[in-house]
Chain A
């Protein structure tokens, strides 16, 4: 049994899954904003990075890791809410290109702002949990306490968000506000609050992902979310932009397939792989693999 868990195939799956859930979380945060306000937020990665900086730099002042995470999440919620109210609200009802241009501009402002405030130097975040992989006998089992936390918390968040949308009144109001704001308003839903709430939840999910990425990867620096954002965007598109579960699963799929490509073919194909998956998935199911809504096309 030990030989199976430490085999090359299982190792690749575990390595890919740990990376994939992070892509999935970014995708999830994009889906949340899309579902609540039908905006493609190109600044999602940069907002997450900025919020992560707000809290995680407190580590240098001796604060506990989890307290720093909490500060980052609060900062993310504030940033998300304010962004929706100030930047995005004037754009509702206008052509989609307007919000894209504004959010790309916002991305540049956040990254250069972070660079000015905290410098462009990568900060290493001391991990609260061991990142050393477990061993079975003399072989490595590619799971560590931190990667278990990483995978577990991503799946919990996904289930939580799915449950919020499916089973709660607020979730129903969130969906209704996005799909039919006028009707919702007539039915007494406070649409404007719902739109802001969507951004608040989404920003918190994104910031959480940014913190995990910085802790497990090459540290926190202004552009450290750029690569993940792109893959997250692709995962969201594959998942169909409507489905929280689809976003996480598409992220997992991307991470695992990429690891197999890196291990069995060539690492140089890794960056190309998600785009190929996107093209193929759009050919097969243009509305997204995991979406039931067939009227929306990319």
Chain B
């Protein structure tokens, strides 16, 4: 569900205002010389760098907060195998030390500085778990690798996390953009065949990989810049200039299906600008940008459906499914955390961000349980790579993790959903689709089963 955003704006901000924009890549390793690895008989210390403030924090603070709520819930029940999880969250402002960043300025990368702070935690750090961002985590993977600290469940759909031969301790978690594109392409080919197609994508690896997935899935959409295929700069999610002309062209060309690989604020603008010219194609939106609670398009009606009826993909149970055991469990965990979620009530609907945070937090708890008494970094990596074990982890995701010695990506598919209101989604065909990134990689489908929550988590 996570993405890079607003970076262009911040780059402008920094250059225009002469604020120091931290250069990513100034890796100054300070090895953890504490001699311990964050594990005692009664606790395990992990940490994450996430944007709690600054230009990219909007809407995403719920991810780490929900993960923390999961850990607090389990700790209150005595932890896992007698160990409580000590989860340290550090604000890295998405490594953009410009407007809105609440952290003191550093001369180098803030993500590197905060990661070093985690590494130097007294008593040691077992692993980073659930750190957020593509560029930010790319900037610390060498540092963590050389310190032999696992970098688990990076919150990003990039394929950069799947490189076991160079980064043995690095693991992604969510379905990557290419696999998602392939599954969306499969749906378009079978259910919306013969209609004219268009594409709008963010002009970085998010848009490019999403489009690559659509192409590998067999759709004939040209690269961005070609006919009916448009790139937008991340800045347009704030400062809207390209969408009106883009949408006018798509409307004039009678494009009936438009695929969006865009972040929520950009999706909102695209829907609004289309409505302004009376253009209502079938939208197909990447899970990154479709969460209706984040897009929150007002004034849904028959004449202006907004995001209603848009097709998307999620790797969690759809949000209207209040009978789903995992949805109920996550709601229970969040309700128990009044400190971080004072406004959440028994009637509140989970957002995609909450499901996401719970998803990787539960995966970590499963890992901890599977390691038994042998809680070491090496065993964490080999347990995840042991497919028979890790691929059987019960998590809130609707499909199993695909970790193996050669695959560190994580999930490989999801459930197709339709947006039904500005808070809710529903499933389309009740099937879970999974695939890999390869052009010839088959797409398999299985009925979606409401999986049980393990009793030790309850």
Contacts and interface: CB of A to CB of B under 8 A. Distances in A.
Interface in A134-184: 135, 140, 142, 144
B278 to A, nearest CB: 7
A15 B100 contact: no
B12 A275 contact: yes
Interface string B10-23: 11110111010000
Interface size class of B (residues with CB under 8 A): 35 or more
A268 B61 contact: no
A15 B277 contact: no
B141 to A, nearest CB: 27
B276 A133 contact: yes
A296 B245 CA distance: 40
B408 interface: no
Interface in B39-85: 53-55, 57-61
Given A122-B265, A229-B99, A259 B6 contact: no
A124 interface: yes
Contact of A115 (B57, B235, B269, B296): B57
Given A132-B276, A133-B276, A227-B6, A217 B244 contact: no
A12 interface: yes
A121 B233 contact: no
A270 B238 contact: no
Contacts, number: 181
A221 interface: yes
A195 B290 CA distance: 47
Interface string A207-219: 0000000001111
Interface in A102-120: 104, 107-109, 111-112, 115, 119-120
Contact of B53 (A45, A111, A227): A111
Contact of B245 (A12, A46, A268): A12
Given A108-B53, A124-B296, A124-B297, A222 B239 contact: no
16 contacts: A46-B100, A108-B101, A112-B53, A121-B294, A122-B58, A122-B268, A133-B277, A135-B278, A217-B269, A218-B238, A227-B13, A233-B16, A234-B16, A259-B241, A263-B242, A275-B15
Interface of B: 6, 8-13, 15-17, 19, 53-55, 57-61, 99-102, 203, 225, 230-233, 235-242, 244-246, 248, 264-266, 268-269, 272, 275-278, 293-299, 343
Interface of A: 11-12, 15-16, 19, 42, 45-46, 104, 107-109, 111-112, 115, 119-126, 131-133, 135, 140, 142, 144, 216-219, 221-224, 226-231, 233-234, 255, 258-259, 262-263, 266-268, 270-272, 274-275, 278
